[in-house]
Amino acid sequence: MPDYQMFKDVDAYIADHFIVDDPALDAAEAAAESAGLPNIAVSPVLGKYLYLLAKLMGARRILEIGTLGGYSTTWLARALPEDGHVVTLEYEPKHAGVARANLDRAAVGPWVEIIVGEAVASLRELEERGEPPFDMVFIDADKENYVNYLDWSIKLCRPGALIIADNVVRDGRVLDPTSNDPRVQGVQAFNDALAKNPRVEAIVTQMVGQKGYDGIALARLRE
């Protein structure tokens, strides 16, 4: 059997070596817990990973689908240049309120627009208002709509953009073709759609750590 405690211990070791103490992020986690938000934000290690990917991309415009308490949003916004912009979509007004306070506390609020509402409708709104194309997308919301989020990400991104989706392994349950869990079914459909879509070149990477066993998808929108 996998040694999940070892995974958590190594994750803590990585965080201790590569992530400095950060009062703003610590306060964001505490505020989310105090407000009763679900404990499903990215880990500090994945947050740093997203930050570095955005830096490596030279991303100026980032779209995030699923804000929660703004923890991952903070990492993404910190990777931006002075003229950068994050648009993040959140279904729950309460979550959006917690996120706004956390982003302002972290001094990245001016770079972040939070849109509250059903994400597919918000993505349609972005298209209708002629939003400039995005350089990077991070998908971390309801798994049942992941295929829709992939389609909209492709529509709203520039060629060469990076699309990232979290939680696409589900503790290995993606291997079960008989699963009746709609979240598992959603990521199974997403992984199939991602693998078959000629507009992208992609891979899924397994990940372990303090959040358990899961994985992320990385996709590049073809020129």
Q: For residue range 70-107, what is the model confidence (pLDDT) as tens digits?
A: 999 999 999 999 999 999 999 999 999 999 999 999 99
pLDDT computed for residue 1 by the predictor: 52
Global pTM reads 0.96
Torsion of CA 49, 52, 57, 59, to 10 degrees: 100
Task: Calculate the average pLDDT of the chain.
Answer: 96
> What does the pLDDT look like over 163-191, one tens digit per residue?
999 999 999 999 999 999 999 999 999 99
Res. 9 pLDDT band, cuts 50 70 90: very high
All residues at 6 or more sequence positions from 60 whose CB lies less than 8 Å from its CB, including other chains: 80, 81, 83, 84, 85, 135
Indicate whether 145 pLDDT > 80.
yes
As a whole number, mean pLDDT of residues 13-37 equals 96
Q: Are 50 and 76 in contact (CB under 8 A)?
A: yes
| Residues forming a β-bridge with 64 | 88, 138
Indicate whether 3 pLDDT > 80.
no
| DSSP assignment string, 78-137 | HTS-TT-EEEEEES-HHHHHHHHHHHHHTT-GGGEEEEES-HHHHHHHHHHTTPPPEEEE
All residues at 6 or more sequence positions from 99 whose CB lies less than 8 Å from its CB, including other chains: 67, 68, 69, 70, 73, 88, 90, 114
> What does the pLDDT look like over 88-97, one tens digit per residue?
999 999 999 9
Share of the chain above pLDDT 70, in %: 99
Place of tokens 């009763």: 36
pLDDT computed for residue 175 by the predictor: 97
Indicate whether 4 pLDDT > 90.
no
Q: What is the CATH number of domain 4-221?
A: 3.40.50.150
Tokens of 186: 């959603």
> What does the pLDDT look like over 57-74, one tens digit per residue?
999 999 999 999 999 999
Q: Is 95 exposed, middle or buried (0-12, 13-18, 19+ CB in 10 A)?
A: buried
**Separation of alpha carbons 151 and 149, rounded Å:** 5
R_g (Cα) of the chain, nearest Å: 17
Instruction: Identify which of 50, 53, 49, 47 has the alpha carbon closest to the alpha carbon of residue 69.
Output: 47
Q: Are 91 and 67 in contact (CB under 8 A)?
A: no
pLDDT computed for residue 211 by the predictor: 86
